[in-house]
Amino acid sequence: MSDFLKENSKKDGITVTDSGLQYKILLEGSGMQPAATDTVTVHYEGTLPDGSVFDSSYARGEEISFGLNQVIAGWTEGLQLMKEGSKYKFFIPSKLGYGERGAGGMIGPHQDLVFKVELIRIS
């Protein structure tokens, strides 16, 4: 576990799953919870631990839909904890993200990731 995740796990409101995924509930919804095989529609912002934004559906002004089993493991696990209408913050260890390969220009190898995710609907 990285120093960032070790320190983060000690903060109030942080829950750590068996896999090492950390999350904080920002807003608890009351809708249905998705299964790994569902398609979900979300708004999100992805940052590095230092706060540098690498992707944001908010900035693009449009929600995104995808199969929950077609994304990084941290998202597949984390979104299944959420109910429609919820907003969570995920702290994703590298092994549940892009691992040793990284992704794109900003996400290097073994990079932890932070996402604010709003689950809008399950379809």
| Residues acting as catalytic residues | 44, 54-55, 72, 98, 115
Q: Tell me how far the alpha carbon of residue 51 is from its chain's centroid.
A: 14
Given a contact cutoff of 8 angstroms between Cβ atoms, the answer to whether 108 and 94 are in contact is: no
Contact present, 54 and 106 (Cβ < 8 Å): yes
Q: Look up residue 96 and give its amino acid.
A: L
Could you count the other beta carbons within 10 Å of the beta carbon of residue 54?
A: 16
Pairing of strands 53-56, 87-92: unpaired
Whole-angstrom Cα distance, residue 52 to residue 72?
Answer: 19
